[in-house]
Amino acid sequence: MIQYILRRLLWLFPILLMVNLLTFILFFVVNSPDDMARAQLGNKYVTDAALTAWKAARGYDLPLLWNTNAVGWDVLTQTIFWQKSVQLMVFDFGVSDAGRAIGADLAQRAWPSLWLALPSFMIGLCVNIALALLLVMFRGQWLDKLGLVLTIVIMSISGLFFIIGGQYVLAKLWHWFPISGYEPDGDVWRFLLLPIILGVIAGVGSGVRWYRSILLEEADKDFARTARAKGLSLWQVMHRHVLPNGLLPILTGVVAVLPLLFMGSLIMESFFGIPGLGSYTIDAINSQDFAIVRAMVYLGAVLYVFGLIITDITYAWADPRVRFGDK
Amino acid sequence: MLLLWSDIVVWLLVTSLLYFFWRLKQDTLLRERWQLVAQSRIAMASTIVLLAFVLIALADSLHFRTNDPYRPVVSALDMSLGNIATGQEKSYSAPFAIESLWQETRQTDDGRVIRAPVPLQHAGKQLDNPNDLSRDLWQRSLTFLSIGIILASLIVWMLSHLSVFSQTALPWKSAAITFIVLCGFLVWLWGMGQSYHVLGTGKVGEDVLYASLKGVRTGILIGGLTTLLTLPFAVVMGIVAGYFKGWVDDVVQYLYTTLNAVPGVLLIASAMLLAQLYLAQHADVFASEQERADVRLLLVCLVLGLTGWTGLARILRAESLKLREMEYVKAASAFGVSHVRIIGRHLLPNLGHLVLISAVLDFSGLVLAEAVLSYVGIGVDPTMPSWGNMINLARQELNREPVVWWNLLGAFVGMFTLVLSVNLLADRVQHVFNPRAQG
């Protein structure tokens, strides 16, 4: 077991390395620090002195890979690659182009993101599985058909419309919820309720279809038919036989995305003014703050890889065939 | 005549689609499958709606240069729309309104100074008395609706004598009904658009109906081109990884895991930010704003395609792993058939349905993704007519007083209809080609 996990860990490390290299190439080689400075300071009317000062203030004035002016180890460390990319590997996020410490911002903003994303995800999961179970129980009947058409309709509506429409009708016209905003110490749920509800609704279409197909696969297996044949009620078969067996693929799917919830939801957060990592990212994109974008790319990759690892672990834990090397 | 890059792509897309269906006719097995697809009434109706969208996109992909300095480039769609394309107002006006939403200070005939809405320049000109508005609307609506329906019925009646339709047992009736309803609606839109702004006007006075129609091409192009770009890549990567296993498999898996590890929006955002920087610094390369927007649109597709292939590649890899253990593949390789031939003869035909289903599903996902990207500011050029840009505008418009909701409505109807018909079709295709997943 431990050996298995170690092997997976070794396999995942190069991915982080590659992501890091990729961002380095994208942000510093394809696009030189000069370009970045010019974009920040206004494209046309920029003096060379202003450019140099901007770069020096943010540490972009170093050579890319090899510092010929330095001595000893500084040849390697006094470079953009070392200062900006290698430091990311040890979670030193540095300073944003606007001069704020990114690490502190991340730590502060991760919580609102999590408060929004985790309940949305969990409630959505329960609602989706419950509805999928309902459709599977009535499979082939009108409820199933109606449900399937409804899921396609919901899937065809852009999430933006749910957010815009929901915010307008429920918050602005009917005053059921505050339009937007966030109070870290006060009544957090008052602000989070509407985004959570809308998030669940927007995800219900594809979610129900997905879980329905997983559960149907289980429901078609021999054990389900036998259980039904020996006289168990439909509900008992679903509850005792189909659902527990379907939970394994569902569980592994859930575990994989769980860490990514930290990243927050870009659109939701910016619409409802929630100061999480999603709105942080959007602000960074809009103000072309490459330092933050780079940090978020790396953070996302780390969380993704982390998700892969815990998926493997749950999989091995839940399914002995994997654990004992029987591929 | 002027060829934009994206025009070429649109025409290429359509020709490849036609070629695909022409090939279908040769293959009996596939033809039978597709007849099964067409036997669903919903699939038939969706196909008709999709065809209408494709026709609009095609008409919008024939560009001509004109002598008009304000509109140097127009498309065939612009020319056929008449007043819908040219009816420019100063600012907002409501659907079917004859007065503006904004107010202007002016002097009345008896010398008083008032602040009131002004009559629109391109709406309700034929009315002598503004009170006749609702009567005129009803009259015109009835006229154009009946013209459209009668015209469509005539076409249906003429086509019904063709032997193709009586020989095949397909739900032609649903197709005909959809066609007639659609024709009635489109002729009504066109006719009403000549004397009114059916969906009102936007911030700078552009007709919202016109903008929604122009959004069709952008949506189809983003969905279609990106899918087309990713398919070959995904197919090659997936099959190669699954068939050869070993280090090739490791490399391919490493590649797509790495790409997946980078959060999708952020990767697209970074690439687009860099592209924007480049475009901003090389603005002089492009002759007109339209051409720059055009290049940016293609870039968006390219960047979306960069990450889009991983899902399909993973599915194809898993399936190829299974297929390569099949007896007929083993027999073929025992006979010394080359790898290329085995892949072409035995693997590809057995993977076709997976590629197809994923392509259709990806298409609708990409149309929806365009809206999100444009909202974040990393999608198509802000000057380019697209549903995403319209939604983006609508955000501020909903906070205005009075509320401007027609931009949102136009984008919603266009996007929803397109994506819904694609999704319904995809559902049917999936049902026929991969019944196991549906149950």
Are A112 and A202 within one domain? yes
Residues A25 and A157 in one domain: no
Closest CA to A159 of A97, A206, A218, A213: A206
Domain of A13, in residue numbers: 2-90
Same domain? For A291 and A192 the reply is yes
**pLDDT above 50 (res B139):** yes
Probe site for chain A from B258, B303, B372 (most A CB atoms < 10 A): B258
Highest mean pLDDT among A4-8, A34-38, A271-275: A271-275
Q: Which residue of chain B is at minimal alpha-carbon distance from A16?
A: B258
CA-wise closest residue to B55 among B80, B38, B87, B30: B80
Helices (H), A167-260: 188-219, 222-229, 234-236, 243-257
Q: Report the candidate in B270, B240, B272 with the shortest Cα–Cα distance to residue B255.
A: B240
How many beta carbons lie within 10 A of that of residue A111, not counting itself?
15
Shared domain for A8 and A111, answered yes or no, is no
Average pLDDT, chain A: 82
Question: Is pLDDT larger for residue B78 or for residue A97?
Answer: B78
Q: Confirm whether A286 is domain-assigned.
A: yes
Taking the CB of residue B6, how many other CB atoms lie within 10 A of it?
22
B226, B229, B235, B237 alpha-carbon torsion, rounded to 10°: -110
Let me know whether A234 and A151 are in one domain. yes
Give me the residue label for tokens 């919202």.
B208
A27 and B270 within 8 Å at the Cβ level: the answer is yes
Q: List, in order of start, the domains of chain B with CATH numbers.
A: 216-437 (1.10.3720.10)
User: Nearest Cα to A163, choosing from A284, A278, A296?
Assistant: A278
Tens-place pLDDT, residues B384-433: 889 999 988 888 888 887 888 899 999 999 999 999 999 999 888 888 88
Of A90, A124, A143, the one marking the end of a domain is A90
Question: ∠ at Cα B367 (A274, B317), nearest 5°?
Answer: 100
Tell me whether residues B420 and A156 touch, CB distance under 8 A: yes
Could you tell me if A29 and A150 lie in one domain? no
Q: Which of A90, A116, A145 corresponds to the end of one domain?
A: A90
Q: Please judge whether A158 and B368 are an interchain contact, meaning their C-beta atoms are less than 8 angstroms apart.
A: yes
Same domain, A116 and A248: yes
Are A152 and B267 an interchain contact pair (Cβ–Cβ within 8 Å)? no
Which pLDDT belongs to residue A324? 60
| Strand (E) or helix (H) holding B118 | strand B113-119
Residue A95 lies inside a defined structural domain of this protein: no
Contact A152 B420 (CB under 8 A): yes
* Whether residue A320 sits in one domain with residue A281: yes
Q: Are B274 and A26 within 8 A, CB to CB?
A: yes
Mean pLDDT over residues A238-261, rounded?
Answer: 84
Domain membership flag for residue A62: yes
pLDDT at B437 over 60: no
pLDDT for the residue B438: 47
Same-domain status, A159 and A240:
yes
- Cα(B99)–Cα(B110) distance, rounded to whole angstroms? 21
A165, A189: one domain: yes
Nearest Cα of chain A lies from the Cα of B267 at a distance, in angstroms, of 7
Nearest C-alpha neighbor of B394 from the set B417, B413, B367: B413
Of A43, A60, A90, the last residue of a domain is A90
**What is the count of structural domains for chain A?**
2
Is A161 in the same domain as A49?
Answer: no
Q: Which residues of A touch B269 (CB under 8 A)?
A: 281, 285, 293
In this predicted model, what pLDDT tens digit does every residue of A179-211 receive, in sequence order? 887 877 777 788 888 999 999 999 899 899 989
Helix, strand counts (H, E) of chain B: 18, 4
* Nearest-5° Cα angle at B299, B228 to A278: 105
What would the pLDDT profile of A120-141 be if each residue is shown by its tens digit? 999 999 999 999 999 988 888 8
Residue B378 at interface with chain A, using a CB cutoff of 8 Å: yes
Residue in chain B nearest A40 by alpha carbon = B277
Count Cβ–Cβ pairs < 8 Å, chain A vs chain B: 123
Q: Which two tokens stand for residue B391?
A: 């939604």
**A205 in the same domain as A311:** yes
CATH code, domain with A240: 1.10.3720.10
Interface test with B, best of A20, A137, A285 (most B CBs within 10 A): A285
CB contact (8 A) between residue A300 and residue B439 = no
